[in-house]
A and B are shown apart, each in its own frame.
Chain A
Amino acid sequence: MAHFEIRDLNFLYASAKGRKSLEGVDLTIEKGQYVVVCGKSGSGKTTLLRHLKPVLTPAGKRSGKILFNGKDIGELTDREQAELIGYVMQDPDDQIVTDKVWHELAFGLESLGCDQKTMRARVSEMACYFGIQNWFHRDVTELSGGQKQLLNLASVMAMHPQVLILDEPTSQLDPIAASDFLDTVRKINLELGTTVIITEHRLEDILPYADRAVVMDSGRIIEDDVPSNIGRELYLKGNEMFHAMPTPVRSFYLCEGQGECPLTVRDGRGWLDREFPQGAPVRSLPEKEPVYAPDDIVLSMKEVWFRYGRDLPDILTGVSCEIPKGVIYAIVGGNGSGKSTTLKAMCGINRAYRGKVEIFGKKIDKYKSSELFDHCMAMLPQDPKSLFVKKSVREELEEMSKDEARINEVASLCEITSLMDSHPYDLSGGEQQRAALAKVLLTEPRILLLDEPTKGLDSFFKETFAGILSDLKKQGITVVMVSHDVEFCARYSDMVSMFFDGQIITTDSPKRFFGNNSFYTTAANRMSRHIFDMAVSIEDVVELYRLNRGGDRS
């Protein structure tokens, strides 16, 4: 008997006019399967997942059938659905209900009215399985984002659900915490046989382990197949979702490879080995000239030291950098290494206690704060919500500028013209970020600082965002960003710096920077470095592949 059986499910949100959020969805999920649901934001993934958990099902017009273990899902009691169907959402923070780790673990069991003995046994079991015992007595506010999300998972698992539904669980986590989290999910699936249904942007981390991939587009299921076939269909149909596929998959199809599609970097290397058993005659592409004038420095830091309090350790231990005009400058590095602190030191929110920061050749201390943040520099915060005050996007923008024409111009640059009358909190993550960016741009900065700009964005929003950045660059605006997102930095930045241990260690063009790294680099480079030199992006790999193949034929 199938675990979930969805028959011709149609759904229209109560508030929406016209377009259905789910249209004719048919899906069968077997017990113990690991199913990935992918699609652009707004494709109906979340709506579909919420239909599998009755208490979270949104209000609206619905038709069709959902069977759970052969019975209509609506017949489940609140208690049964709490016990049998686990659901983990995106936000690690807001999902936590109580103030203590132990209480959070016990929360679900308390709701079921379990007795002390059962609760003790289950809670201790969960604490051990998830490695929580060392922070069992802590306050939840002391935990990192990754720990919080793990706690959310553990407190759902404490109820021993048959199904685990995860809605973009790692979008707010850094890459290391994210892959830890996804490893745990896989372990649960393998060791306990729990059915897993997950939506995720980071397909490279989960697609290789999934039993099935389901692709959604505008509320319909357009693909439903084993992961190794999914790329082929998307490629042939020219579907946009192809660009969200893992690097090996995209490289394989763009090179029109034959045979089994590689899903992991390891298999990708194997495929290239088979293609070029003697190595490739053309190993590298000619290097492009830098587009910026290296002498026109707009922002420089010299030996900057910073700590948050007198008795606290130094976070920045002599940061130096020079950023030329009109570049996109990326700072990459591990979590908690002080990247964001550096960004704040650049705009004077964190005052260095030693060293100097110069903006347009003038020391930052010489600026009044009204000067510094007006027509000079501005920062887009990590969480766009921290900039929203009003009840519509238009009012948000009007807070910054009275100039109607200018507002419209910036809105169209950020592609939010159609969202002007929406409430900021009704927008999706990517839209919120663009609205926040528009707000920031209305200060008309010449230097734009971005803190983790791609956090939580899917590949399409990332592309839109990159488009906006390149428009800004054309206007002569300098962009400085700190990011975990290696792929994004490799593709769109002009200069990349490595941040480690409170300092900037190296700076180079993305090509040389990532081309010379072997761990901290893009998937394309990891996959191809034994055959090609400095192929950092998929485009590089495909171009080199074609060059070498073309040589064969002639």
Chain B
Amino acid sequence: MKRSRAMLYFVLVILIPLTLYLGIRLPGRSYYLLSALVAVEVLTPFFMTFEKRKPAPRELATVAVMSAFVTIARVGVPIPSFKPTFAVILLSGIAFGPETGFVVGAMGALGSDFFYGQGPFTPWQMMAYGVMGLLGGLAFREGSPLKRKNIVMAVFCFTATVLVVGPLLDTSSVFITISVLSWENILPLYISGFPVNLTQGVCCFLTLMLFGEAILEKLERVKLQYGMMEDTDGV
């Protein structure tokens, strides 16, 4: 835990600014490359922690089911941009903690891109989805003032979708399509992304309002049954 935090701080405080500093000196229009690199740098500490931790089979299997569920929520729901994807990621984060939540989100994004097609947006998408799990895990951790109630989770998920994760996703399209970075240029993209984020947020809000606690209970049952995410020997 400690080491992973240290790694995260290293990435956030040193590596990313360094990348940006060096990147700006690169010739040509390198926004996209820079942004992809930053996304990969954010993903790395979480992934390496997960890798090093060597999760027990039961945890791995559960994380796989949740990530696949994220993919299904995205690929399987036929209504465009009305998908409960973020609600599922948020609940995983709440149930299994911020780091596992991040992995569920990121791998869910990667998994669904195998069905939708990978693209230049994949690293950013992985990061943005992961952040939702991270936020859920941090905001609702043991002892947090936020209660694990339908309404609280629903409002949180809506806010996080509209204010954080949605804009993060829009940022990737900013870097891919915009020629000159300036507020004047970027704002239209964020504004055009807003309705999409809003519908996403509403969908997640409704999902959690109706079934948040019920689903959380199912995840807790699995945790209880297998003493998952706590024991290290995996038996």
Contact = CB atoms under 8 A, between A and B. Distances in A.
A391 B235 contact: no
A391 B217 CA distance: 9
B221 interface: yes
Interface of A: 55, 59, 391, 423
A87 to B, nearest CB: 14
B217 A55 contact: no
Contacts of B217: 391
A518 B14 CA distance: 80
Interface of B: 217-218, 221, 235
Contacts, number: 6
Q: Which 4 A-B pairs have the closest CB atoms?
A: A391-B217, A55-B235, A391-B221, A423-B221
Majority secondary structure of chain A interface residues (helix, strand, loop or mixed): loop
A57 to B, nearest CB: 9
A454 B160 CA distance: 49
Nearest to A426: B225
A55 B217 CA distance: 28
B182 to A, nearest CB: 45
A250 B204 CA distance: 60
A391 B222 CA distance: 12
A275 to B, nearest CB: 55
A391 B220 CA distance: 12
A59 B58 CA distance: 15
6 contacts: A55-B235, A59-B235, A391-B217, A391-B218, A391-B221, A423-B221
B65 to A, nearest CB: 10
Contacts of A59: 235
Contacts of B221: 391, 423
Nearest to B61: A97
A423 B218 CA distance: 11
Contacts of A391: 217-218, 221
Contacts of A55: 235
Contacts of B235: 55, 59
A200 B217 CA distance: 35
Nearest to A54: B235
A9 B50 CA distance: 39
A427 to B, nearest CB: 15
Nearest to B64: A97
Nearest to B234: A55
Nearest to A391: B217
A391 B218 CA distance: 8
A198 B187 CA distance: 67
A55 B57 CA distance: 11
A196 to B, nearest CB: 25
Nearest to A425: B221
A266 to B, nearest CB: 45
Contacts of A423: 221
A59 B217 CA distance: 23
A423 B222 CA distance: 12
Nearest to A389: B214
A207 B218 CA distance: 41
A542 B221 CA distance: 51
A59 B218 CA distance: 22
A422 to B, nearest CB: 13
A176 to B, nearest CB: 31
A423 B217 CA distance: 13
A152 B219 CA distance: 28
A391 B177 CA distance: 48
A318 to B, nearest CB: 34
A59 B221 CA distance: 17
B158 to A, nearest CB: 25
B227 to A, nearest CB: 9
Nearest to A423: B221
